Amino acid sequence: MQKKPTVPDKDNLTTGQVAAYFAVTPDTVRKWVYSGKLTTETTPGGHHRVSRESFQALVNSRRRRLRQATPRNDFQFCWEYHSHSETIHQECFDCIVYRSQARRCFELAKLPALAGHSLLFCANTCEDCDYYNLMCAGRRDLLVVTNRQDLIVALRIQSSEHRFSVRFADREYLCSRMVDLYRPDYILVDESFHEDRGKRLIEDLRKDPRIQGAKIIFVGNAEDMPDQCRKELSAWMSGPVSIDGVAEIIDKLEKNTVP
């Protein structure tokens, strides 16, 4: 993937610099100028110079279009959200968030400056950040691992009434695929994956570096599990499973009130 060049710290940019930033041809930038998308001044030599204000306005416009085109249920890393098309800002490659592939950039922002958080797109507070409010604030990403089709249908219907983004997996391979694409905060493992398969799955999920910090909730009688496997669980529940019940468990986990 081609790295995006750094924007020069100048009040006026050349059309070549703008083209390099957006990974387009200079001819495209000239079309933006002629169509009014960019405001320029002309030098005595007849060259266009794009003002910083006009350049930033175009950047913001493209970001808004990207956000509007992004389904709310599909997760994006912060460097993806702030990129244009498939290119990533060059500065992102040196940031601890990108290098660690961290899902929660706002948590790493609390680290000391020497840790390497670039704070490229940070507002004054996370609550002022468009990315945080779209992807993180109040959002709960849940992966349900079950063989029970009746449970899948019920939870899919109920989830529309909560701020849950839910995915389902009925086998280990699909579970790993969903983890890779989806990076869930919470994983509900149904007792249909009990016995040896369920134990191995829970152990694998807990060791998976892609979802460090994810909470695993087991549906069934966890007392039948070996002590070591039970220690991998954040919580467990029995009886009929509903989104309301899952939401209650998650609320307790977030408030650290789970027994």
Residue 144: predicted pLDDT: 93
For residues 201 and 91, give the distance between their C-alpha atoms in angstroms, rounded to a whole number: 37
Assigned CATH for 1-68? 1.10.1660.10
Residue 10: predicted pLDDT: 64
Numbered ranges of CATH 1.10.1660.10 in the chain: 1-68
pLDDT lower than 70: segments of the chain: 1-10, 23, 62-75, 84-86, 135-139, 160-163, 194-196, 258-259
The two three-digit tokens of residue 128, written as one number:
């002022």
Strands (DSSP E) contained in the chain are 3-4, 12-14, 40-42, 48-51, 88-89, 140-145, 164-169, 186-190, 215-219, 235-237
- Four-point Cα dihedral 172, 175, 176, 181, nearest 10: 160
For residues 106 and 119, give the distance between their C-alpha atoms in angstroms, rounded to a whole number: 9
Residue 71: predicted pLDDT: 43
Numbered ranges of CATH 3.40.50.2300 in the chain: 140-253
Contact (CB, 8 A) for 220 and 236: yes
Q: Which residues contact 129 (CB under 8 A, 6 or more apart)?
A: 106, 121, 122, 123
120 vs 59, 105, 161, CA distance in Å? Answer: 14, 11, 35
Residue 1: predicted pLDDT: 34
Architecture of domain 140-253: 3-Layer(aba) Sandwich (3.40)
